[in-house]
Structure 1
Amino acid sequence: MPSYTVTVATGSQWFAGTDDYIYLSLVGSAGCSEKHLLDKAFYNDFERGAVDSYEISVDEELGEIHLVKIEKRKYWLHDDWYLKYVTLKTPHGDYVEFPCYRWITGDSEIVLRDGRAKLAQDDQIHILKQHRRKELEKRQKQYRWMEWNPGFPLSIDAKCHKDLPRDIQFDSEKGVDFILNYSKAMENLFINRFMHMFQSSWHDFADFEKIFVKISNTISERVMQHWQEDLMFGYQFLNGCNPVLIRRCTQLPPKLPVTTDMVECSLERQLTLEQEVEGNIFIVDYELLDGIDANKTDPCTHQFLAAPICLLYKNLANKIVPIAIQLNQTPGEENPIFLPSDAKYDWLLAKIWVRSSDFHVHQTITHLLRTHLVSEVFGIAMYRQLPAVHPIFKLLVAHTRFTIAINTKAREQLICEYGLFDKANATGGGGHVQMVQRAMKDLTYSSLCFPEAIKARGMDSTEDIPYYFYRDDGLLVWESIHSFVAEVVGLYYESDQVVAEDVELQAFAKDIYVYGMRGSKASGFPKALRSREKLTEYLTVIIFTASAQHAAVNFGQYDWYSWIPNAPPTMRAPPPTAKGVVTIQQIVETLPDRGRSCWHLGAVWALSQVQENELFLGMYPEEHFIEKPMKEAMARFQKSLEAVVSVIAERNKNKKLPYYYLSPDRIPNSVAI
């Protein structure tokens, strides 16, 4: 009587084990087995982290095993079970792997294919075609699109975290509950004691130190010490939290009527401003904020926004410094151009307004829209259109881990009406929604292609702009990912024709275009993928956005935003309309009050934390791929990333302001916080 050895691995996360009855049956080319109860007498099967083996005898040979059916039935109370994989040793001594890495909930059945990645056109056997189709039909019912706000990329149809399919929920909700994390941050940072003075102002800049905790964070301490300096101000456009807005200025805009006479004392090359524009002038324009409604959720506190234009200069030391700031878009007598030669506090307040505006664009556009919401689109489309056996699903699933869950939590608690975002931010109360709706027109495919985005802003020359570490490190990481993805595409797609004929891949790309980009031709997102080269680039965009880009704009928030005057989340007085009238007292009364400062500090601390047991770029503990060439490609990818880590570590040696956000050992695989 033929006998199979079945090995079943249970996950090691909390509550992964089960006491329910587990049945297994085999479907082969020559027949199907009976349903077998997997049970060892006097032994507790399927405990968390366990690997259990069973002998299964069948009446006759089953031939090549196509499918393994796992059925879970209630023993006492329903408990979910996380099944990692099943392996099978056949009567002939062959081993077959069946990856799962899914939760089995309630009384249900799950059907697994062996781990070899297959395109739809590779499947010729009816039962495998049917399995593929049924899996997608089920997923498309579970993963439905929803419009959270008009004009937004569509998101998952779920009101709260517990409504999500179990496979994409967090292992423990506690770890991502924003309210709990805020409270924990308040406690850890010793700032609860200021909340009773919620709407009172600080006395002076030094007063902010009362909530500034020195937790061996060299960057945040250096920001506190040097935030008023022009060099520190300029440096942040290159390597701070929002290093994506600065662009080379090739022509002075008419709406910023700055002249050589105004900025002559800042120019170091004895050239006119028009001559300096030929290579040494840069600009950051916050036009997106023009007309956005400021937060009115608290009738006791007025909050204000501005839409500055900031002109920057590369000095003889190749450092970027500000030389002119206009605080709103329309020039005029009540919208003066502030200069470094102005009175100290005039210039300082102008810079603070720019930093506050930068904070708003960073949080809502650079961070929320262009990493969180975009990555959710990629994830939903993947689950809807790519079955688990598809090589692109196997490649991308690690880079969608917890993304839909964290975004659902954010919509539930953080960016919803009266959510935590409203407590401290001037763009709360609906302004952030208006911003996303406006910014969608600039959410293009090319702007997510890292090398193209850098080049489009004129920031690609390492000789002209030598201290742009975000660019330098990002290009290294992009190239590592691109080379790895090219290998993967080469393994599974023999030609461009195979790419074009992959109906599931085309449905995936179409879902992203139609639902994510709302069918906008201007977005430049392809409706279909017709070549291996284009597919490689497309997958690199997805992985880079979810991993490196999110890391670059998320994990520095405590570093750069914990010193409140450097990144005010709100301003309590309108921008100055004249020069020579600003006092330090006026600045302090414009900055956030004590309560909003505390909320802000708690937020940036919580958002800067990595998940427990985080998986970093190149780590693939879930073995969805079983083929040796693929595992070798992964090993090469890991070595490539290790080389990037070494380059960045060497560059950072002895730096007073090290840049490490794009070091691969600090880049989580996915958007999960």
Structure 2
Amino acid sequence: MSTYKVFVSTGIHEFGEMTNSIYLTLIDSNDQSSDRTLVNKTFLSSFETEISFDICVKDDFGDIVQVKLEKEKHLVNVQWFCENIKVKAPSGKCFEFPCYLWIADDEVIIREGTARLPQDDPEWLKKQRREELESTQKIFRWSEGIPGYPMCLEGEVPPEVRFDADKSSSFKWNSVKAAVDAVVLMLENCIHPLKDLADFEKILEDFEKILEDFKIDNNLRSVRQYWSKDYMFGYQFLNGCNPVMIRKCVELPDNFPVTHEMVEGFLKRGVTLQEELKAGNIYIADYKILDGVPTSSSQLYLAAPICLLYKNRLDKTVPIAIQLSQNPGEKSPIFVPSDNEYDWMLAKMWVKSADFIVHQLVTHLLKTHLISEVFEMAMYRKLSAVHPVYKLLKPHVRFTIAINSDAREKLISKDGVFSKISSIEVAGMDKLMQSAMKTLTYESLCFPEAIKARGMEDLPKYYYRDDGMKIWETINCFVSAVVKIYYDSDEAVQNDTEIQEFFKDVSFGMNNSDKFQKPLKTREDLSEYLTVVIFTASAQHSAVNFGQFDWYACIPNGPSTMRKPPPEQKGQVDMKYIMESLPNLECSSLVFGTVWDLTRFQKKELFLGMYPEMCFTEQPVKEAIENFQINLHEVTNSIKSRNEGLTTKYSYLSPNKIPNSVAI
């Protein structure tokens, strides 16, 4: 007989103790099993994290390739968290079994931690992999969800992807959030309505002092002081919440009849508008996607504006013309900076209000949250837990299904927050999402290609682009290194049935599969595809999520809705009209509290490059992860150095502030 030493760990998890009996069985490479061994009937109190015991087997027992855990049900069936299992053979060889699962079922089989492609497994393990995936697909079932949206999970969120205790507790208000509650309460119970923009200014000034006491970094002061300036308005197209709307304009749209005479006074190089267009100094933000989107009420309004911007001699990008509809004419004047102060201010507010809607529903919800859920669903459905790509992606889809389930219930439902704070409700959201899905392609998710497609390669002070390219290249370098460890040739990619099925399932989940049918034929193809998955879930989400409080807490800077229609002629607007157009107190307070909540990191946030759940056991991958962390640290330092010279800092793509996954 031979004796194997077994170490079972739960880590430190609330409710991780075991009240049900757990039995463990070793399975070797010849499909032989040890006797079923009781781990511990009263396994692990909240103060214990590891237990060890011996298992005796026959001398001809081979390498340990699997561990089977069986949970015996009692009157109360309690889930149990297993972090990892290590088995030490008499020869001294150690076998690792990363788990990181809440065990709810009667039986769970865990593969030895070495990542393996399906074609490299013996037949009996291939069969088991297929059975594992068939079982998982019964849990993670596709649902059409909302027509026109990407597909999503059908039914309740499975235990293995629900929030853990730490994440759940992070949603509870902390002391800083209590301060937000106080401000919101003050707003909601304010006796007098907001009469002037200075009222918004006073609220922000008071709250800024609270943030200083808690030493929370933000750009609130810069936004509060300079939001009405043209240069700050233009800056936000580059480095605000929605830095993906601006594109180079080489030819004016037919429905935007801006003439040289209209903007001549704002073109500081002494050349014509046409010459500035040819020189690449003119940019445009067009919100035609909002044209025809129904509003939720006859008392709320929505526009589909077009904004022309100019890169001046100081390399600042400033607005020079705004049209508040897609239909030019007498009732849709083109506003310019030399117009009446209030006309120009309101025109910019209308652009920012449109930007708020598109940002929240398209740039943020669709292109990070919902897309990442498709990736997560396909990963669980088509990749075995022992597949290297499963191990690679798992940290980057953490909690995404769970947070999206909450979003569908609390944010974009009929009575959800977005219906309360914006000009559109479910019907409008659906129409907007359907339009956005028609333009969604695989290429649009590739950061370098997306930048190039908008002609934004050279515009100065575009920190979103500069930092994003560094992050993209760093992730791609890491992913490429991992891919080469497991795929020794392009043929290995083509022969990997699981990765090919994963790719097809993503296309299916996107509801427009023809736009995601880029064949995975080479290791380079696979590396780029996985970079898209990780970048979208980490960096892109961070770029469009964590600036919301900075830019939207100042309500006039990004009105979530407008209560008066767009002006149809110039010279009719005053401050009273502007205040009556902006969101009221109730709406403003809800926006204020919501964007604060959506931009907080959780207590134990896992940032890009942090992998406390080490699913990989092979040394080459661990070295690749270490190099990844070193490279990310260098990017963090370069961004920190750059920001030291900026009044309005750009930190949303600093790796030390990029969570691993879409989880808020």
Please identify, of 27-36 and 254-263, the stretch whose mean Cα deviation from structure 2 is larger: 27-36
**Alignment-mate amino acid for residue 224 of structure 1:** R
Equivalent-residue separation in structure 2 for 1:7 and 1:261 (angstroms)? 79
Q: Residue 175 of structure 1 contacts residue 181 of structure 1 at CA under 8 Å; is this kept in 2?
A: no
Alignment partner, residue 460 of structure 1? 457
Q: Could you report, residue by residue, the CA deviation over 1:298-353 in whole angstroms, capped at 9, with x for unpaired residues?
A: xxx71100000000001110100000000000100000000001010000000000
Q: What's the CA shift string for 1:616-647, capped at 9, x where partnerless?
A: 11111111110000101111111110110011
- 1:238 aligned to 2:261? no
State whether residues 539 and 653 of structure 2, in contact with CA within 8 Å, keep that contact through their aligned partners in structure 1. Answer: yes
Q: Which residue of 2 aligns with 1:172?
A: 165
**1:358 — aligned with what?**
355
Listed as ranges, the gaps of 5+ residues in structure 2 are none
* 1:293 alignment partner in structure 2: 294
Indicate conservation of the 8 Å contact 1:356/1:568, yes or no.
yes
Counterparts of 1:313-352 in structure 2, within 5 Å, are 313-352=310-349
Q: Which residue of 2 aligns with 1:571?
A: 562
Indicate the SS of the match to 2:563: coil
Return the offset for 1:83.
Answer: 0.6
CA contact (8 A) 2:170 2:602 kept: no
Determine which of 480, 495, 500 is the counterpart of 1:506. Answer: 500
Residue 670 (structure 1) aligned with residue 661 (structure 2): yes
Residues 432-471 of structure 1 correspond to what in structure 2 (within 5 A)? 432-461=429-458, 465-471=459-465
SS in 2 for 1:70: strand
Count of aligned positions: 654
Would the aligned equivalents of 2:15 and 2:46 in 1 still touch at CA under 8 Å? no
RMSD: 2.0
- Helix, strand or coil: the match of 2:219? helix
- The runs of 4+ residues in structure 1 deviating greater than 6 Å are 176-183
Report deviation, 1:79. 1.4
Structure 1 position 119 matched with structure 2 position 117: yes
Identity over the aligned pairs, expressed in percent? 50
548-557 or 506-515, which moves further after superposition?
A: 506-515
Which position in structure 1 is the counterpart of 2:600? 609
In structure 2, the residue matched to 1:425 is 422
Tell me the CA shift for residue 664 of structure 1: 0.4
1:202, 1:589 within 8 Å by CA — same for their partners in 2?
A: no
Map 1:581-660; keep pairs closer than 5 Å: 581-660=572-651
Q: What is the alpha-carbon distance in structure 2 between the residues aligned to residue 423 and residue 185 of structure 1? A: 22
**Does 2:543 align with 1:544?**
no
CA contact (8 A) 1:19 1:79 kept: yes
Q: Using a 3 Å threshold, how does the CA distance of structure 1 residues 46 and 381 change in structure 2: closer, same or farther?
A: farther
Q: Deviations 1:80-129 (Å, cap 9, x if unpaired)?
A: 111111100112221000111111015x1111111111011000241x22
Cα pair distance change 1:534/1:280, threshold 3 Å: same
CA contact (8 A) 2:148 2:511 kept: no
Q: Counterparts of 1:406 and 1:444 in 2: how far apart (Å)?
A: 24
- Quote the Cα distance in structure 1 between the aligned partners of 2:145 and 2:476: 33
**In structure 2, C-alpha distance between the alignment counterparts of 1:433 and 1:342, rounded to whole Å:** 36
TM-score by length of 1: 0.94
Equivalent AA in structure 1 for residue 284 of structure 2? I
Partners of 2:13 and 2:46 within 8 A in 1: no
**Deviation, structure 1 residue 59:** 4.6
Structure 1: stretches of 5+ with no match in the other structure: none
Query: Against the structure 1 CA distance between its residues 651 and 603, is the aligned structure 2 distance closer, same or farther, given a 3 Å change threshold?
Result: same
1:76 CA displacement? 5.3
1:174 Cα deviation (Å)?
A: 7.6
Superposed, which structure 2 residues align to 1:112-151 within 5 Å? Answer: 112-126=110-124, 128-151=125-148
* Distance of 1:44 and 1:102 partners within structure 2: 16
In the superposition, relative to structure 1, how do residues 176 and 580 fare at CA in structure 2: closer, same or farther (>3 Å)?
A: farther
Query: Which range is displaced more, 164-173 or 468-477?
Result: 164-173
Deviations 1:564-620 (A, max 9, x none): 000000100000000011001100010000000000101100111112211111111
8 A contact 1:177–1:409 mirrored in 2: no
Q: What is aligned with 2:545? A: 554
- Report the secondary structure of 2:100's partner residue: strand
Q: What is the alpha-carbon distance in structure 2 between the residues aligned to residue 134 and residue 83 of structure 1?
A: 22
Q: 1:19, CA displacement in angstroms?
A: 2.0
Quote the offset at 1:48 in angstroms: 6.3
Question: 1:197 deviation in Å?
Answer: 5.7
Q: Does the 8 Å CA contact 1:312/1:322 hold for their aligned counterparts? A: yes
Change (3 A) 1:644 1:49: farther
The answer as to whether partners of 1:287 and 1:308 remain within 8 angstroms in 2 is yes
1:191 is paired with a residue whose SS is helix
Q: What SS is found at the alignment partner of 2:469?
A: helix
Q: Is the 1:179–1:413 contact (alpha carbons within 8 Å) kept by the matching residues of 2? A: no
Aligned position for 1:99 = 98
1:611–1:672: 8 Å Cα contact kept in structure 2? no
- Separation of aligned partners in 2, 1:442 and 1:177: 36
TM-score by length of 2: 0.95
Q: Which amino acid in 2 is paired with 1:553?
A: V
Contact 1:551 1:661 in 2 (8 A): yes
Whether the 8 Å CA contact 1:16–1:48 is kept in 2: the answer is no
Secondary structure, counterpart of 2:82 in structure 1: strand
Distance 1:136 1:181 in 2: 41
